[in-house]
Amino acid sequence: MSNKGALLKDLLLVVLLVSSMLLTKEGVTSLPICLNGSDSCQVSLGELFDRAVNLSHYIHFLSSEIFNEFDERYAQGRSFITKAVNGCHTSSLTTPEDKEQAQQIHHEDLLKVVLGVLRSWNDPLIHLASEVQRIKEAPDTILWKAVEIEEQNKRLLEGMEKIVERIHSGEIGNEVYSQWEGLPSLQLADEDSRLFAFYNLLHCLRRDSHKIDNYLKLLKCRLIHDSNC
Amino acid sequence: MKQKLTSSVQIILLLALIAVGLTDESYPGKPKIIRCRSLEKETFSCWWKPGSDGGLPTNYTLFYIKDSEEKIYECPDYGTSGPNSCYFDKNHTNPWTTYNITVMATNEMGSNTSDPQYVDVTSIVQPDAPVNLSLETKTSASTMYLWAKWSPSPLADVSTNSHAYHYELRLKPEEKEEWETISVGVQTQYKVAGLQAGVKYIVQVRCILDLGEWSEWSSERYIQIPNGESPPEKPTIIKCRSPEKETFTCWWKPGADGGHPTNYTLLYSKEGEEQVYECPDYRTAGPNSCYFDKKHTSFWTIYNITVRATNEMGSNVSDPHYVDVTYIVQPDPPVNVTLELKNPINRKPYLVLTWSPPPLADVRSGWLTLEYELQLKPEEGEEWETIFVGQQTQYKMFSLNPGKKYIVQIHCKPDHHGSWSEWSSEKYIQIPTDFRVKDMVVWIIVGVLSSLICLIMSWTMVLKGYRMIAFILPPVPGPKIKGIDTHLLERGKSEELLSALGCHGFPPTSDCEELLIEYLEVEDSEDQQLMPSHDSGHPSKNAKLIPKETDSDSGRGSCDSPSLLSEKCRESRALPSALETQEVRDIQENKGGKRSWQTQCIASEQKILLFNNENTKSSTWPTAQLPTNQPPMFAYHSTVDAHKITLSTTNVNITPVLVGNEEKHQSQYPMTETVHDNMVKQRQMENLHSTDQTTAQVRQSRPDDKSPFLNPELMDYVEVHKVRHNEEPAVLLKHKENNGKTEKYTVPGTSKEYTKVSTVVDHNILVLMPDSRIQHASMSQEPPMETSQNLQQGQAEKNMSYSLTVPSECKRETSGSEYMDPSSFLPSFK
């Protein structure tokens, strides 16, 4: 009898426990945005890199898209690729070509490389955005992407200057970039040549935007995550 | 006769009319059996060509007769071989039988039957043409030959040896008309020598089974016989792939070797460089491949790759392959895929998938960024659900169907370019059935269990009867009066008992009568200790018996029976008393309500038994007891002790509450009522526990009692001082003899004091203690009262089934000693 009584008690206890556990909800806590007052409330380097990487990722995405669209629409059967081997206007800039090179280069130098490549594209992107309008039956998707890339590239450049400023805390050499001389080729009368000039430019854009994206991701992992992404 | 004739003529005319009228509709035309054929001598089919259908829907029926039997069979299977055909499966095919086959076409108008076709299965065998004919030129010992291979039609069951196909091969130069036919035999390959170099040949094969017909020729195959010795064909670069964005490999497919051992060389040049390099590593990635290690792998550079095949006769170079390593990254599948079912306490369960990037991929440095995609489906499902996960290496799934088994796979891809890896190996996870349901089940189980326990408890209660009750409601020990041997009581030897009580001799003498002075009413819920020998295995039976016993019981004898009754009893028997007793009874019933009345029955029965054993006169007894008119004179004690079930009975301590009823006769009423109320209250309060209620009623006649029926004389009274439940039940009575005696002695005719335990209600103990000092004084005085008392008592019994407040004044009056009055053990119910 007493056993049964005890059992009943235990059961009651269990029921109570379960119900209490069911009733309690997990507390939710929120973190303040600025922990140490407004002074140190500036965007952290990590956040800056996150934004930069997001931008570069987006730019490269757009570049790939615009290239693929163009390739599909204008380059079929013209074997532009074989001619494109000639290189891009940024090939004068020394950029790491594989992982080892990219890892060996000092992060400040790599940042400079990124800045250099970004600046080298300032001019051509502006012209691309305007010249692409003249392509015969250019679809809207290509047109707006050209404009979008140009704008985003500027924003990324600003962001990168900020990052370099933060890391360098010194002056940024403005001179390290490659001049683009390709405007005339975009305005060639011969359609094939002109299309190839576009093709080549887009091809180079895709490549360089990928380079930038790749370098930035590398830098982010190295500087923010201590090479342990 | 004439009538018959005319009628028959009419019929003929009618028929003719019908025939004329339905010219466009007629019975079907004659079908024709076109062909019967067996593919492998084990089954066969026949096809027929329908005749005209006569403009009506026509059914075709195939009948056949075996040469060995007379019986006509119908086609076993019209479906398998297509329309207008009949398929004879293995069971219906006998190679040693000739079948006589006819087809009957039937429509509404009639039927028509084809000409019979005689079929001998062996002779109608025609296999399908051989398949997979492949040709190859080989050079051995500087002679060129053609190597042809083929396989029999997949329909034929090659495994059984009974089918020996014989093959024929024919070939001719492409531009010629004549075929050269070669009998091959049973092999499925053939070497043709002596062919003209530099000529393109066409080759075909066919087969035959035993005595059947040749199959069709197989489809044509062409082969260019090499012109003696030639340079190899152009190799083709199939693909290039980088598994981790650091190295890459290219594979190629060699062309024809031109009959000579051929070397392959991979050459590449990089964008912007004029120099041509050769493959740095032919071995690592297997045959016909080139592995580019880290040193030789650059990104954002286009590789121009070609493969050159070279033999003695010359070389041939593949088409160039342009590769930017960035775009050919295809990682290995993710590893360490784990599925874990999380079951948080206060949330819904969910599935957590975790995985690791492929070991080759260096995602930590940021050089390669991988994105993942997973797909899952229920095990029996058809379509995969694909979920793009992004860069994270874990994923939580919340909406899964419970009770299903899921298959999960994951693959990965570089963030921008490249291609998806292979899927990781399938992982299975069983989603448990709904947790709510599980909870429900738990609750149901709990409910069932508890109700089961309750059932068992009540069952055992019913079975074990008072034992269980006694267990739950520990017995209150009977009042133990010093000097009384309880064992004697139990044994029921009245004489001994009586003698022990000081009442010698039976039937009672005047001595005994004089014993009555006081009543001690003790209500006790448990009498177990008094009556241990009574087994109440049949409570219900007992219960039935009791009411009857009550009456007959009236004679529970004791020495005080008739003689004790005084005339005053009569007087004292007033209505009020009856009411009062009823009240008390109510109380008791209330009390006992929960305990089940079995208990009461048992108890009462026990009492009855006890007193029956005492062989007392039934007729007289009750009367003596019933006069309960003395209410005011007794201290009314109600002791209610509540005990928890779990308490052992022996430990029960009962503290009697003495309620001295000092009031007068009239006030008796209220008193009982209050007691009643108390009891009820207590019952309510202690409902959960099993209540052990002991009521001790001690009535005492008071000298100042103004009741008309009351004897003015006052008796000594006894208070139930303590009721101990420890092992030996005992009521400690406190005799106020001194006072009483003095009073009594002052009143003439009542020189004796009785101490009477008049009632033991429920489970009660009756103890009577003789007051030896006064015992003998008034014995002889009593007899006259007895009869009258009896009469009254009889009435009383009729009026009230049971009187709790047994003590009557008469007794007191007459008694000088204490005695035990068993009449109080009357059951409390009728």
In three-state form (DSSP H/G/I as H, E/B as E, the rest C), the secondary structure along B241-282 is EECCCCCEEEEEECCCCCCCCCEEEEEEEECCCCCEEECCCC
Instruction: Determine the Cα–Cα distance for residues B148 and B189; give it in Å rounded to an integer.
Output: 5
Q: What angle do CA A185, A188, A192 make, to 5 degrees?
A: 95
Kind plus residue range of the DSSP H or E element containing B395: strand B394-397
Mean pLDDT check: name the lowest of A190-199, B264-273, B375-384, B502-511: B502-511
Cβ separation of A214 and B246 shorter than 8 Å? no
Could you read off the pLDDT of B661-696 as tens digits, one per residue? Answer: 444 444 444 444 444 444 544 555 444 444 444 444
Cβ separation of A221 and B417 shorter than 8 Å? no
Closest CB to B366: pick one of A91, A207, A222: A222
Q: What is the pLDDT of residue A121?
A: 92
Show Cβ contacts of residue B404 under 8 Å, excluding neighbours closer than 6 positions. Answer: B378, B379, B430, B431
Backbone angles phi, psi at B390, to 5 degrees: 85, -150
Torsion of CA A130, A132, A133, A135, to 10 degrees: 150
Query: Which long-range CB contacts under 8 A does B455-464 form with residues at least 24 apart?
Result: B457/A4, B461/B596
Asked if A79 is an interface residue toward chain B (Cβ–Cβ < 8 A), one would say no
CATH of domain B335-437: 2.60.40.10
Q: What is the pLDDT of residue B662?
A: 42
Does A80 have pLDDT greater than 90? Answer: no
Q: What is the pLDDT of residue B490?
A: 61
Does B572 have pLDDT greater than 60? Answer: no
Instruction: Determine the Cα–Cα distance for residues B202 and B192; give it in Å rounded to an integer.
Output: 12
Nearest C-alpha in A relative to B327: A207
Could you read off the pLDDT of B765-824 as tens digits, one per residue? Answer: 555 454 444 444 444 444 444 444 444 544 444 444 444 444 444 444 444 444 444 444
Q: What is the pLDDT of residue A10?
A: 73
Instruction: Determine the Cα–Cα distance for residues B602 and B591; give it in Å rounded to an integer.
Output: 15
Q: What is the pLDDT of residue B700?
A: 44
**What's the pLDDT band for B731 if we cut at 50, 70, 90?**
very low
Asked if A57 is an interface residue toward chain B (Cβ–Cβ < 8 A), one would say yes
- Average pLDDT in the B614-630 region? 43
Closest CB to A11: pick one of B302, B324, B446: B446
What number of CA atoms fall less than 13 Å from residue B335's CA on the CB side? 7
Instruction: Determine the Cα–Cα distance for residues B825 and B803; give it in Å rounded to an integer.
Output: 9
Closest CB to A229: pick one of B300, B346, B364: B364
* B236-324 has the same fold as B131-156+163-225: yes
Does B348 have pLDDT greater than 70? Answer: yes
Higher pLDDT: B346 or A18? It is: B346
Contact present, A95 and A117 (Cβ < 8 Å):
yes
Could you read off the pLDDT of B740-754 as tens digits, one per residue? Answer: 444 444 444 444 444
CA distance A38 to chain B (A): 32
Q: What is the pLDDT of residue B14?
A: 54
Asked if A100 is an interface residue toward chain B (Cβ–Cβ < 8 A), one would say yes
What does the block give as tokens for B673? 């009522």
SS3 B131: strand
Cβ separation of A64 and B346 shorter than 8 Å? no
**What's the pLDDT band for A193 if we cut at 50, 70, 90?**
confident
Q: What is the mean pLDDT of chain B?
A: 67
Contact present, A117 and B301 (Cβ < 8 Å):
no
Contact present, B116 and B36 (Cβ < 8 Å):
no
Contact present, B701 and B629 (Cβ < 8 Å):
no
B507 preceded by cis ω (within 30°)?
Answer: yes
Closest CB to B365: pick one of A21, A210, A227: A227
Chain A interface, best mutation among B244, B295, B299, by max A CB count within 10 A = B299
Q: Which residues of B touch A229 (CB under 8 A)?
A: 363-366
Nearest to B551 by CA among B480, B496, B493, B623: B623
Instruction: List the end-to-end C-alpha distance of chain B, in Å, as a whole number.
Output: 108
Q: What angle do CA B682, B728, B467 make, to 5 degrees?
A: 60
Largest Cα–Cα distance in chain B? 166
- Average pLDDT in the B698-705 region? 44
- Average pLDDT in the B236-258 region? 89
Instruction: Determine the Cα–Cα distance for residues B660 and B635; give it in Å rounded to an integer.
Output: 4
Q: Which fold has domain A45-225?
A: Growth Hormone; Chain: A; (1.20.1250)
pTM listed for this prediction: 0.46
Instruction: Determine the Cα–Cα distance for residues A115 and A95; give it in Å rounded to an integer.
Output: 12
Superfamily in which the B236-324 domain is placed by CATH:
Immunoglobulins (2.60.40.10)
Asked if A2 is an interface residue toward chain B (Cβ–Cβ < 8 A), one would say yes
Burial class (CB in 10 A: 0-12, 13-18, 19+), B19: exposed
Asked if A42 is an interface residue toward chain B (Cβ–Cβ < 8 A), one would say no
Chain A interface, best mutation among B297, B365, B454, by max A CB count within 10 A = B365
ipTM of the prediction = 0.78
Nearest C-alpha in B relative to A63: B416
- Average pLDDT in the B149-168 region? 72
Show Cβ contacts of residue B11 under 8 Å, excluding neighbours closer than 6 positions. Answer: none
**Domain residue ranges of chain B, discontinuous segments joined by +:** 32-120, 131-156+163-225, 236-324, 335-437
Nearest C-alpha in A relative to B302: A85
Q: Which residues of B touch A227 (CB under 8 A)?
A: 364-366
Write the class of the CATH domain B131-156+163-225.
mainly beta
Asked if A207 is an interface residue toward chain B (Cβ–Cβ < 8 A), one would say yes
Domain spanning B32-120: CATH 1.10.8.350: no
Nearest C-alpha in B relative to A19: B346
**Domain residue ranges of chain A, discontinuous segments joined by +:** 45-225
Show Cβ contacts of residue B398 under 8 Å, excluding neighbours closer than 6 positions. Answer: B348, B350, B351
Among residues 118-177 of chain A, which lie with CB inside 8 Å of chain B? Answer: none
Contact present, B699 and B805 (Cβ < 8 Å):
yes
What does the block give as tokens for B589? 């019933």
Asked if A218 is an interface residue toward chain B (Cβ–Cβ < 8 A), one would say yes
Establish, for the pair of chains A and B, how many residue pairs have beta carbons separated by less than 8 Å. 96
Asked if A1 is an interface residue toward chain B (Cβ–Cβ < 8 A), one would say yes
Instruction: Determine the Cα–Cα distance for residues B244 and B367; give it in Å rounded to an integer.
Output: 10
Cβ separation of A85 and B446 shorter than 8 Å? no
- Average pLDDT in the B145-174 region? 77
Kind plus residue range of the DSSP H or E element containing B140: strand B131-140
Question: Tokens 């060129």 belong to which residue?
Answer: B144
Mean pLDDT check: name the lowest of A100-104, A122-126, B224-228: B224-228
Query: Which long-range CB contacts under 8 A does B173-180 form with residues at least 24 apart?
Result: B173/B199, B173/B200, B173/B201, B173/B202, B174/B199, B174/B200, B174/B201, B174/B202, B174/B222
Kind plus residue range of the DSSP H or E element containing B191: strand B189-193
Contact present, B803 and B625 (Cβ < 8 Å):
yes
Does B356 have pLDDT greater than 70? Answer: yes
Q: Which residues of B touch A5 (CB under 8 A)?
A: 645-646
Q: What is the pLDDT of residue B467?
A: 66
Q: Which residues of A touch B390 (CB under 8 A)?
A: none
